[in-house]
Structure 1
Amino acid sequence: MKMKISCKPIAAAAALLLGGCMVGPDYHRPQVNVPATYSELPGWTQAQPADADAPKGAWWTGFNDPLLNELEPQVAVSNQTVAQDYANYQEALAEVKVARSALFPTIGVTGSGTRQRASAGSTSSSFTRSVGSGAQIVNSGSLEGNVSWDLDLWGSVRRTIEENSATAQASEATLANATLSEQIALATAVIDLRTSDANIDLLQATVKAYEHFLEVVSNQDKYGTVAPSDVVTARTQLENARASLIALGIARAQNAHAIAVLVGKNPEELNIPHSAAMPTLPTVPVGVPSTILQRRPDIATAERQMAAENATIGIAVAAYYPTVSLSALDGFTQSPLGGLLHVANYVWSLGGSATETIFDGGERSGEVAAAKANYQAAVANYRGTVLTAFEDVENDLSGLRILAEQADALDTAVRDATHGTEIAFNEYQAGTVDYTTVATAQATQLADQQTALSVQQSRLLDAASLIGDLGGGWSDSQLHDPRNPDKPPAQPAAASAASAPAAQTSSATGQGAQPAVQ
């Protein structure tokens, strides 16, 4: 086959067209109102270590919990929600390849052969054979190369690539957001599990104390020095504590099952032993509000979706302009088949076509209006996502500040309640108060201890939530450009890390400043 279509002119024309006109608006990220600082931060002291020294990718190490350190890396590998979003991202990357293919001509080769019965005298060749009654069998064939090319004069294909590339980046950010969300969910489940273990330890100690109290009261009852109702009260209190201890097994089992599922395991595959240690509160670098626009993957998702919708406007506008196509054919055809590749049988053709819609009843204008409306909806979603992000961080900061104050008050309350129980029991043994006073003091002590543990749990959960609401150390500079798969993502700006104050408690009391999440 003799092909006379040179690739060099095609490549030159492709380069010319790729730099040609693109109708529709070019994308510019809309401005959003960003406060200079979070309302919870004024008057607070910057944390140590600084942002540059705080954990970023492996943020969970700040909790100093071995179970978290072991399981968190497994979320990105084995969690099924993450796996689903990863598959969606791979699909989006493939769609970019599909869109890019429309920029280039389609080149094909067609070969055909025919064997047919012809009437007598219609042809003569060594490739024919008589079959009777003067009829002949004729063999014929062709071998042709063809090229077709829809020219992207108005940028419709390039806008489609823009749209699909932005959609792929939105999928990549969605994958990052899903990974972070599942990691925060795992941290939450581990904190809840550790709290259940701490509650179990507290109630076990309480049961032992109540057993001792019941033994003392029972001995006094033997000598008739106390009312029989005191024994009943002490025994009832002990049995209630035992029942509460048993009930904690439900919460612990559910938390353990949730942890297994989050790391992609069946519940029976993961055995988590009891631990007497609670996670520690990490130092959480907060940063200035403007950094949250780059640090939150859900904001990046909304921003990339906005860019994709902007590109669809250009696609819709391009429908107003003519569609121009080029085609070419080059090859050989011969009947009968003998001498197919001889120069005498060489054929070629060149062609071009242009189509333009004159009247469509308003279809194209409707498509443009719909694309613009979708873009405005994406802008509103982006700005709403940013506002929600600021709200989340402010809620976390206020929660950490208020819970720190509550924890200080509860520490005093627990000490006083414990001392009160000791005094009440001593007075009871001295015969100056009845056992109701002791029971009330014991109930107050247990309630204060459980409340203090609940506040500690809430502070840990708020710290994990703050880490998630700040992006967990992620940055939109990690997004890949699907149009340049070999080019690594841009490196984060150094200024982002240098301008990141961390959450701290106020030093207005005159005491040394302490991290708000410690």
Structure 2
Amino acid sequence: MWRLWAGAAAAVLGACSSLPPPGEAPRLDLPPTWRVEPGWREAAPADAADKGRWWQRFNDPTLDALIERALANSQSIAAANARLAQARALVDVNAAALWPQLSLSTRVARQRTSANRPLSNYASPNFSTVQNDYLASLGVSYEVDLGGRVASNLEGARASAEQSAADLANVRLLVTTDLASAYVNLRALDIEQAALQRSIALQRRALDFISTRHELGAVSGLEVAQQQALLDSTLTQVDVLYRQRTLFKHVIATLTGSAAPAFEIAPEVREIEPPAIPLGVPSDVLERRPDVAAAERAMAVANAQIGVARAAFFPTVTLGPSIGVDSRTLGSLLDAPSLLWSLGVGLTQPLFDAGRLRANADATRAAYEASVANYRRIVLVAMQEVEDGIVGVAALGRAQAQARTARASAARVLDMATARYEGGASTYLDVITAQQSLLAADRQAAQLRGQQLLASVFLVKALGGDWQQPVATASR
């Protein structure tokens, strides 16, 4: 019999040795530097760069207060915190398996035995008895981690807790960047609304002027109708911008944990300057991004599951000694004859499972390969987002500067067209065209400012959050 057991164990262990080892972290060929746009220079932030209050670099007290409310009240962050607490508790659960488990059991019973129970000895007939039973027993159970199952489970739990911590950091980053994006969109609409109101006031003054001239017979009714049509067209944009602003206001309300109907944020024309963001090599950026860290920890979790699957091929060995006392009377419970004990070793070795263990090992290997592919994808997306952010911030900065020039040119054209019309050198259509051009330039400048701020927030998100004061600072 022992030869049969030895042969079976050798066959199983031989099959286990042919399993692939747990995977190693994949390597990616990363470029040494980013493709920096003209007007930027590269910085080298420290490895322990601060990932905290990046929003304070926009120097907007309202934004600071809103983000503080979001960090305190966001249900997404609360859920991520709970998942982290759960993952850390599971680490303690798995760590407890490394230690012997002690259990104390007691029993106090009064029982009657059956006179018709099966005989234990044909020479000794059974009798019915009524007696007490007092039992106290201390048991010990310990699993010998022969195949590394317990250690692999603990390793996976620790990696899962680290992944949950990275997920929490990523949720905080997403909540703050989403709120900042909604806020800069809202402020850009405030600027655009202010430009629209200036244009409406200008067009109304022009309508009053041309109506007065029409009453004096100096101009035809066509020019009055043209100015009225322009004013009516401009007024239709008021409610369109109001709707857009309301949507962003509701987004901010939800992110800060407030009910949308009761939330208000006053309009304010405020020029927010995007911060100068240092650019580091890809390895620096990847160290700051919590989603990359979470994907790497997910790989570690999948890798640990390979170890658990491999351990299933090994025998399970459990030590289970126990000691106690048992007596029919309470007074003799602690007497020497009442002592009972046992020493035992349990061994369980799978012999035939129709390929279940092998299939499970293949499944864990496939899950690990999937986590590797996901990690590579997230790293490549991270690099793409940083490169997109660099190009976007630089290009929109130049476009915004050009928009200011275009706005000044449109204002000069309107002054010239008005002067020429009043002097009788041109038609009123030239004035209307100049008014439309000035409004378009004003709105374009506001929109480009909003897009530039959005690109800055996007780049902060791509970089993984805040940074400490760099050695060299990127200039716009």
State TM-score, norm by structure 2.
0.88
CA contact (8 A) 1:24 1:317 kept: no
Aligned to 2:406: 413
Relative to structure 1, is the Cα distance of residues 290 and 501 closer, same or farther in structure 2, using a 3 angstrom cutoff?
farther
Aligned length: 445
Distance 1:233 1:43, change over 3 A: closer
Write out aligned runs for 1:358-369 (5 A): 358-369=351-362
Q: Which moved more, 1:355-364 or 1:377-386?
A: 355-364
Distance 1:309 1:202, change over 3 A: same
- Structure 1, unmatched stretches of 5+, are 1-22, 121-133, 475-496, 504-514
2:300 aligned with 1:307: yes
SS in 2 for 1:280: coil
Tell me if structure 1 keeps the 8 A contact 2:410–2:437. yes
Q: Secondary structure at the match of 2:340?
A: strand
Residue in 1 aligned with 2:416? 423
Look up the equivalent residue of 1:448 and give its one-letter code: A
Residues 440-482 of structure 1: CA deviation (Å, up to 9, x unaligned)? 11111111221121111110000000001101038xxxxxxxx
Matches within 5 A, 1:108-507: 108-117=103-112, 137-473=130-466, 502-503=473-474
How many Å separate the matches in 2 of 1:107 and 1:166?
Answer: 28
Q: Deviations over 1:351-402 (max 9, x none)?
A: 1021111222221121111111111111111111000000001111111121
Q: Helix, strand or coil: the match of 1:298?
A: helix
Amino acid at match of 1:441: A
Change (3 A) 1:83 1:209: same
Distance change (3 Å), C-alpha of 1:422 and 1:393: same
The CA deviation at 1:25 is 4.0
2:60 to 58, 62, 65: 65
Structure 2 contact 185–450 (Cα < 8 Å) conserved? yes
- Rounded to whole Å, the distance in 1 between the matches of 2:22 and 2:306 is 10
2:32 paired with 1:36 = yes
Q: C-alpha distance in 2, partners of 1:341/1:331?
A: 9
Q: Distance in 2 between matches of 1:438 and 1:56?
A: 52
Separation of aligned partners in 1, 2:26 and 2:349: 34
Q: What residue in structure 1 maps to residue 97 of structure 2?
A: 102
d(CA) in 2 for partners of 1:116, 1:296? 67
SS of 2:319's equivalent in the other structure is strand
* Structure 1 residue 501, shift from structure 2 partner: 5.1
1:275 aligned partner, one-letter code: E
Q: Secondary structure at the match of 1:431?
A: coil
Structure 1 letter corresponding to 2:25: R
- Output one character per residue of 1:91-133: Cα deviation in whole Å (capped at 9) or x when no partner: 111221221122222211111122134699xxxxxxxxxxxxx
Relative distance call for 1:32 and 1:500 in structure 2 (3 A) is farther
2:86 matched residue in structure 1 = 91
Q: How far apart are residue 300 of structure 1 and its match?
A: 0.4
Tell me, yes or no, if the aligned pair for 2:42 and 2:280 is still in contact at 8 Å: no
Alpha-carbon distance in 2 for matches of 1:139, 1:394: 81
1:40 deviation in Å?
Answer: 2.5
Shift of 1:30: 2.1
Cα separation, 2, equivalents of 1:161 and 1:263: 37
Between stretches 332-341 and 230-239, larger displacement belongs to 332-341
User: Matches of 1:220 and 1:62 in 2, distance apart?
Assistant: 53
With over 3 angstroms needed to count, the CA separation of the structure-2 counterparts of 1:366 and 1:27, relative to structure 1, is closer
2:72 to 73, 77, 84: 77
The Cα of 1:88 is off from its aligned counterpart by 1.5
AA paired with 1:84?
A: A
Report the CA distance between 1:502 and its aligned residue: 4.4
* Alignment-mate amino acid for residue 38 of structure 1: W
In structure 2, the residue corresponding to 1:427 is in which secondary structure?
helix
Query: In the alignment, is the contact (CA less than 8 A) between 1:288 and 1:501 conserved in 2?
Result: no
Equivalent residues of 1:25, 1:310 under 8 A apart: no
Q: Determine helix, strand or coil for the equivalent of 1:367.
A: helix
More displaced, 66-75 or 301-310? 66-75
Distance across 2 between alignment mates of 1:190 and 1:171:
28
2:301 aligned partner, one-letter code = A
Shift of 1:28: 4.2
RMSD, aligned CA: 2.3
Secondary structure at the counterpart of residue 343 of structure 2: strand
Q: Distance in 1 between matches of 2:190 and 2:345?
A: 77
Q: Secondary structure at the match of 2:98?
A: coil
1:110 is paired with a residue whose SS is strand
Residue 57 of structure 1 and its aligned partner are, at CA, apart by 1.4
Q: 1:501 to 1:162 in 2, by over 3 A?
A: farther
In the alignment, the residues of structure 2 paired with residue 266 and residue 78 of structure 1 have an alpha-carbon distance, to the nearest angstrom, of 12
Distance 1:321 1:351 in 2: 19
How far has the Cα of 1:165 moved from its partner?
Answer: 1.0
Structure 1 range deviating more: 358-367 or 375-384? 358-367
Retained in 2: the 8 A contact 1:105–1:147? yes
Q: Which residue of 2 aligns with 1:18?
A: none
Deviation of 1:250 after TM superposition, in Å, equals 1.4
Q: Which amino acid aligns with 1:176?
A: A
Question: Aligned partners of 1:55 and 1:316: how far apart in 2?
Answer: 39
Q: Secondary structure at the match of 1:100?
A: helix
Instruction: State the distance in 2 between where 1:354 and 1:225 align.
Output: 111
**Higher helix proportion:** 2
Looking at structure 1, the residues matched to 470 and 243 of structure 2 have their Cα atoms a distance apart, in angstroms, of 45
SS at match of 2:344: strand
The change in CA–CA distance for 1:387 and 1:119 in structure 2 (over 3 A counts) is closer
Q: Is the 8 A contact 2:102 2:138 kept in 1?
A: yes
In 2: Cα distance, 1:140 partner to 1:82 partner: 56
Q: 2:452, 2:169 → 1: CA distance?
A: 25
Aligned sequence identity (%): 34
Contact 1:146–1:328 (Cα < 8 Å) also in 2: yes
Aligned partner of 2:16 in structure 1 is: none
Give the whole-Å Cα distance in 2 for the aligned partners of 1:332 and 1:139.
14
**TM-score, normalisation: structure 1:** 0.81
Quickly say closer, same or farther: Cα 1:136–1:31, change in 2 above 3 A.
Answer: closer
